[in-house]
Chains A and B, each alone.
Chain A
Protein backbone atom coordinates (compact mmCIF):
# COMPACT_ATOMS: atom_id res chain seq x y z
CA UNK A 1 0.00 0.00 0.00
CA UNK A 2 2.91 2.20 0.64
CA UNK A 3 4.33 3.26 -2.71
CA UNK A 4 5.85 6.53 -1.60
CA UNK A 5 3.54 8.56 -3.75
CA UNK A 6 1.40 9.72 -0.85
CA UNK A 7 4.51 10.67 1.04
CA UNK A 8 5.71 12.71 -1.90
CA UNK A 9 2.36 14.40 -2.10
CA UNK A 10 2.46 15.06 1.61
CA UNK A 11 6.00 16.42 1.33
CA UNK A 12 4.88 18.66 -1.48
CA UNK A 13 2.06 19.97 0.69
CA UNK A 14 4.31 20.42 3.70
CA UNK A 15 6.99 22.13 1.68
CA UNK A 16 4.49 24.39 0.08
CA UNK A 17 2.97 25.43 3.38
CA UNK A 18 6.35 25.96 5.02
CA UNK A 19 7.39 28.00 1.99
CA UNK A 20 4.31 30.14 2.45
CA UNK A 21 5.05 30.51 6.13
CA UNK A 22 8.62 31.50 5.29
CA UNK A 23 7.39 34.03 2.75
CA UNK A 24 4.95 35.49 5.26
CA UNK A 25 7.63 35.70 7.89
CA UNK A 26 10.12 37.42 5.60
CA UNK A 27 7.45 39.78 4.31
CA UNK A 28 6.40 40.75 7.78
CA UNK A 29 10.07 41.16 8.79
CA UNK A 30 10.68 43.34 5.73
CA UNK A 31 7.62 45.45 6.56
CA UNK A 32 8.78 45.75 10.15
CA UNK A 33 12.18 47.10 9.11
CA UNK A 34 10.61 49.41 6.53
CA UNK A 35 8.31 50.83 9.21
CA UNK A 36 11.14 51.24 11.70
CA UNK A 37 13.29 52.96 9.07
CA UNK A 38 10.53 55.45 8.22
CA UNK A 39 9.64 56.04 11.88
CA UNK A 40 13.26 56.94 12.55
CA UNK A 41 13.46 59.22 9.52
CA UNK A 42 10.29 61.10 10.51
CA UNK A 43 11.47 61.35 14.11
CA UNK A 44 14.96 62.38 13.04
CA UNK A 45 13.62 65.16 10.83
CA UNK A 46 12.01 66.89 13.80
CA UNK A 47 14.80 66.08 16.23
CA UNK A 48 17.28 67.49 13.73
CA UNK A 49 15.54 70.88 13.53
CA UNK A 50 16.97 73.63 15.67
CA UNK A 51 15.30 74.06 19.07
CA UNK A 52 13.14 77.24 19.16
CA UNK A 53 14.56 80.02 21.33
CA UNK A 54 11.39 80.28 23.37
CA UNK A 55 12.17 76.92 24.99
CA UNK A 56 15.68 77.98 25.90
CA UNK A 57 14.32 81.29 27.25
CA UNK A 58 11.88 79.33 29.38
CA UNK A 59 14.66 77.18 30.76
CA UNK A 60 16.69 80.23 31.72
CA UNK A 61 14.21 80.54 34.62
CA UNK A 62 16.34 77.82 36.16
CA UNK A 63 19.36 80.13 36.11
CA UNK A 64 17.37 82.81 37.95
CA UNK A 65 16.29 80.30 40.57
CA UNK A 66 19.86 79.15 40.86
CA UNK A 67 20.90 82.80 41.41
CA UNK A 68 18.29 83.31 44.12
CA UNK A 69 19.33 80.17 45.93
CA UNK A 70 23.00 81.09 46.31
Chain B
Protein backbone atom coordinates (compact mmCIF):
# COMPACT_ATOMS: atom_id res chain seq x y z
CA UNK B 1 0.00 0.00 0.00
CA UNK B 2 1.29 3.46 -0.84
CA UNK B 3 1.86 5.98 1.90
CA UNK B 4 -1.23 7.98 0.95
CA UNK B 5 -3.44 4.91 0.79
CA UNK B 6 -2.28 3.68 4.19
CA UNK B 7 -2.65 7.21 5.58
CA UNK B 8 -6.24 7.23 4.36
CA UNK B 9 -6.95 3.79 5.80
CA UNK B 10 -5.55 4.86 9.17
CA UNK B 11 -7.58 8.09 9.08
CA UNK B 12 -10.79 6.19 8.41
CA UNK B 13 -10.06 3.87 11.30
CA UNK B 14 -9.57 6.86 13.61
CA UNK B 15 -12.71 8.75 12.52
CA UNK B 16 -15.01 7.27 15.21
CA UNK B 17 -12.67 8.24 18.04
CA UNK B 18 -11.99 11.63 16.47
CA UNK B 19 -15.74 12.28 16.44
CA UNK B 20 -16.10 11.11 20.03
CA UNK B 21 -13.27 13.40 21.13
CA UNK B 22 -14.85 16.32 19.26
CA UNK B 23 -18.20 15.65 20.94
CA UNK B 24 -16.61 15.84 24.37
CA UNK B 25 -15.34 19.33 23.53
CA UNK B 26 -18.30 20.66 21.55
CA UNK B 27 -21.42 19.15 23.04
CA UNK B 28 -23.61 20.04 20.07
CA UNK B 29 -23.30 17.13 17.58
CA UNK B 30 -23.41 19.42 14.51
CA UNK B 31 -20.71 21.70 15.90
CA UNK B 32 -18.65 18.67 16.89
CA UNK B 33 -18.83 17.25 13.37
CA UNK B 34 -17.86 20.65 11.96
CA UNK B 35 -14.76 20.42 14.13
CA UNK B 36 -14.02 17.00 12.66
CA UNK B 37 -14.57 18.31 9.14
CA UNK B 38 -12.17 21.23 9.70
CA UNK B 39 -9.66 18.87 11.29
CA UNK B 40 -9.75 16.59 8.25
CA UNK B 41 -9.34 19.54 5.86
CA UNK B 42 -6.29 20.68 7.84
CA UNK B 43 -4.91 17.15 7.99
CA UNK B 44 -5.28 16.75 4.21
CA UNK B 45 -3.59 20.10 3.61
CA UNK B 46 -0.68 19.02 5.79
CA UNK B 47 -0.33 15.36 4.86
CA UNK B 48 3.30 15.82 3.92
CA UNK B 49 4.08 17.15 7.41
CA UNK B 50 2.95 13.93 9.01
CA UNK B 51 5.82 11.52 9.52
CA UNK B 52 4.66 8.00 8.71
CA UNK B 53 5.12 5.68 11.65
CA UNK B 54 4.51 8.39 14.25
CA UNK B 55 1.30 8.67 16.25
CA UNK B 56 -1.47 9.64 13.83
CA UNK B 57 -4.12 9.72 16.57
CA UNK B 58 -2.12 12.23 18.63
CA UNK B 59 -1.50 14.27 15.48
CA UNK B 60 -5.21 14.44 14.60
CA UNK B 61 -6.37 15.04 18.17
CA UNK B 62 -3.85 17.88 18.47
CA UNK B 63 -5.15 19.54 15.28
CA UNK B 64 -8.72 19.18 16.51
CA UNK B 65 -8.15 20.58 20.00
CA UNK B 66 -6.03 23.50 18.74
CA UNK B 67 -8.74 24.33 16.24
CA UNK B 68 -11.41 24.10 18.94
CA UNK B 69 -9.55 26.47 21.26
CA UNK B 70 -8.79 28.98 18.53
CA UNK B 71 -12.47 29.01 17.59
CA UNK B 72 -13.42 29.33 21.23
CA UNK B 73 -11.17 32.36 21.59
CA UNK B 74 -12.45 33.93 18.38
CA UNK B 75 -16.12 33.59 19.16
CA UNK B 76 -16.26 33.19 22.90
CA UNK B 77 -19.62 34.87 23.13
CA UNK B 78 -21.37 32.84 20.50
CA UNK B 79 -19.95 29.59 21.78
CA UNK B 80 -21.09 30.38 25.30
CA UNK B 81 -24.52 31.29 24.03
CA UNK B 82 -24.69 28.11 22.01
CA UNK B 83 -23.63 26.06 25.00
CA UNK B 84 -26.27 27.79 27.06
CA UNK B 85 -28.97 26.35 24.84
CA UNK B 86 -27.84 22.89 25.80
CA UNK B 87 -27.49 23.59 29.48
CA UNK B 88 -29.82 21.22 31.21
CA UNK B 89 -30.57 20.16 34.72
CA UNK B 90 -29.79 16.84 36.20
CA UNK B 91 -33.00 14.99 36.71
CA UNK B 92 -32.06 13.01 39.76
CA UNK B 93 -29.66 12.52 42.60
CA UNK B 94 -27.25 9.58 42.51
CA UNK B 95 -28.87 6.25 43.32
CA UNK B 96 -28.33 4.63 46.68
CA UNK B 97 -25.94 2.13 45.10
CA UNK B 98 -23.81 5.03 43.84
CA UNK B 99 -24.68 4.59 40.16
CA UNK B 100 -25.71 7.60 38.06
CA UNK B 101 -27.86 7.93 34.99
CA UNK B 102 -25.75 8.34 31.82
CA UNK B 103 -27.78 11.37 30.69
CA UNK B 104 -27.24 13.02 34.08
CA UNK B 105 -23.57 12.21 33.78
CA UNK B 106 -23.42 13.98 30.41
CA UNK B 107 -25.14 17.06 31.83
CA UNK B 108 -22.64 17.25 34.68
CA UNK B 109 -19.73 16.59 32.33
CA UNK B 110 -20.71 19.51 30.09
CA UNK B 111 -20.52 21.84 33.07
CA UNK B 112 -16.80 21.16 33.39
CA UNK B 113 -14.26 23.56 31.90
CA UNK B 114 -13.00 22.47 28.44
CA UNK B 115 -9.52 21.58 29.73
CA UNK B 116 -11.13 19.27 32.28
CA UNK B 117 -13.42 17.65 29.72
CA UNK B 118 -10.48 17.18 27.44
CA UNK B 119 -8.17 15.39 29.90
CA UNK B 120 -10.93 13.19 31.25
CA UNK B 121 -11.87 12.11 27.73
CA UNK B 122 -8.30 11.54 26.59
CA UNK B 123 -7.14 9.63 29.65
CA UNK B 124 -10.42 8.15 30.87
CA UNK B 125 -12.16 7.17 27.66
CA UNK B 126 -9.98 7.28 24.57
CA UNK B 127 -7.27 5.12 26.07
CA UNK B 128 -4.50 7.71 25.70
CA UNK B 129 -1.52 7.36 28.01
CA UNK B 130 -0.60 10.32 30.19
CA UNK B 131 2.34 10.91 27.84
CA UNK B 132 0.09 10.93 24.78
CA UNK B 133 -2.39 13.27 26.47
CA UNK B 134 0.49 15.59 27.42
CA UNK B 135 1.66 15.61 23.81
CA UNK B 136 -1.84 16.40 22.55
CA UNK B 137 -2.45 19.16 25.11
CA UNK B 138 1.05 20.58 24.78
CA UNK B 139 1.89 20.40 28.46
CA UNK B 140 3.88 18.35 30.97
CA UNK B 141 2.84 14.85 32.05
CA UNK B 142 2.60 16.07 35.65
CA UNK B 143 0.19 18.79 34.59
CA UNK B 144 -2.06 16.19 32.94
CA UNK B 145 -2.04 14.00 36.04
CA UNK B 146 -3.00 16.79 38.41
CA UNK B 147 -5.58 18.12 35.95
CA UNK B 148 -7.19 14.67 35.69
CA UNK B 149 -7.42 14.47 39.48
CA UNK B 150 -8.95 17.92 39.79
CA UNK B 151 -11.37 17.21 36.95
CA UNK B 152 -12.47 13.94 38.57
CA UNK B 153 -13.08 15.57 41.92
CA UNK B 154 -14.99 18.40 40.28
CA UNK B 155 -17.13 15.97 38.31
CA UNK B 156 -17.81 13.86 41.40
CA UNK B 157 -18.93 17.04 43.12
CA UNK B 158 -21.20 18.04 40.22
CA UNK B 159 -22.70 14.56 40.27
CA UNK B 160 -23.40 14.93 43.97
CA UNK B 161 -21.13 11.99 44.74
CA UNK B 162 -19.86 11.86 48.26
CA UNK B 163 -16.10 12.01 47.84
CA UNK B 164 -15.17 12.41 51.49
CA UNK B 165 -17.23 12.03 54.60
CA UNK B 166 -18.77 15.45 54.18
CA UNK B 167 -22.50 16.02 53.76
CA UNK B 168 -23.77 15.93 50.19
CA UNK B 169 -23.41 19.49 48.91
CA UNK B 170 -26.57 21.51 48.68
CA UNK B 171 -27.80 22.86 45.36
CA UNK B 172 -26.60 26.35 46.35
CA UNK B 173 -23.09 25.18 47.10
CA UNK B 174 -22.84 23.32 43.84
CA UNK B 175 -23.74 26.39 41.85
CA UNK B 176 -21.21 28.46 43.79
CA UNK B 177 -18.50 25.85 43.13
CA UNK B 178 -19.25 25.85 39.44
CA UNK B 179 -18.81 29.59 39.26
CA UNK B 180 -15.54 29.66 41.16
CA UNK B 181 -13.59 27.14 39.07
Contact = CB atoms under 8 A, between A and B. Distances in A.
Interface of A: 20, 23-24, 27-28, 30-32, 34-36, 38-44, 46-49, 51-52, 54-56, 58-59, 61-63, 65-66, 69
Interface of B is mostly: helix
Contacts of B11: 59
A66 B125 contact: no
Contact of A35 (B4, B16, B20, B155): B155
A31 B37 CA distance: 35
Contacts of A28: 156, 163-164
B146 to A, nearest CB: 15
B125 A42 contact: yes
Contacts of A41: 102, 105
B138 to A, nearest CB: 22
27 contacts: A27-B164, A28-B156, A30-B98, A31-B156, A32-B152, A34-B100, A35-B155, A35-B159, A38-B102, A38-B109, A39-B124, A42-B24, A42-B102, A43-B125, A44-B125, A46-B16, A47-B16, A47-B19, A47-B20, A49-B16, A51-B19, A55-B40, A58-B40, A62-B7, A62-B8, A66-B5, A69-B4
B2 A66 contact: yes
Given A43-B125, A55-B15, A27 B163 contact: yes
Contacts, number: 102
B121 A58 contact: no
Interface residues of B, number: 42
A28 to B, nearest CB: 6
B162 interface: yes
B15 A35 contact: no
B16 A42 contact: no
A47 B164 contact: no
Contact of A39 (B2, B7, B125): B125
A40 B122 CA distance: 10
Contacts of B44: 58-59, 61-62
Contacts of B2: 66
**A-B residue pairs, 4 tightest by C-beta:** A43-B125, A46-B20, A47-B16, A39-B124
